[in-house]
Amino acid sequence: MIIKQISVFLENKMGRLSELVNILAENNIDMQAMSIAEAADFGIVRIVVPEPEKTALILTEAGWTVKQNDVLAVSVDDKPGSLNRILTAIAGAGMNLAYSYAFFSREAGKATIVVKVNDNEAAEKALEAARIL
């Protein structure tokens, strides 16, 4: 499934992440997934939330620099080898993975893997062909 992800720019400064999650909490926004990518003096926090448009607006208005983009979310069985089936299918379709992160699903025994590739539709097709989606 193609979903919206929000990326937030974070200067590498003490307490900054705490400020970010605090504003989400204040606005009663439930994060479904989060991952942090860090460079020397900044980081990018990537989050998945139920109402991405609204969340992006709240963050922008509060002065955060954000960007929304599409990523692929794949639901798999929470057991060894699941991630590799996805990666194999993507590599088999000749695609390079930009980044990926995982979170437990609310559905028992399931996990969700977020993957970022350059072509979401093509990746989705490759996963369908491999009977993962």
Do residues 117 and 72 make contact, with C-beta atoms less than 8 angstroms apart? yes
Nearer to another protein by Cβ, of 21 and 130: the residue is 21
CB of residue 13 to another protein, shortest distance in Å: 8
What does residue 29 show for φ and ψ, rounded to 5 degrees? -100, 120
Residue with tokens 């020397």: 40
Query: Taking contact as CB under 8 A, which single stretch among the options 7-15, 72-80, 81-89, 122-130 is the one that binds another protein?
Result: 7-15
- Residue span binding another protein (CB under 8 A) among the ranges 21-29, 31-39, 102-110, 121-129: 31-39
- Six token digits for residue 43: 């980081």
How many whole angstroms from its chain centre is CA 4?
Answer: 8
The yes or no reply on residue 53 touching another protein (CB under 8 A) is no
Tell me which stretch binds another protein (CB under 8 A): 26-34, 59-67, 80-88, 125-133: 59-67
The answer to whether the CB of 14 falls within 8 A of the CB of 123 is no
Beta bridge pairs of residue 115 = 72, 100
Give residues in contact with another protein (CB under 8 A): 5, 7, 9-11, 13, 16, 37-39, 41-42, 44, 46, 60, 63-67, 69, 98-99, 116
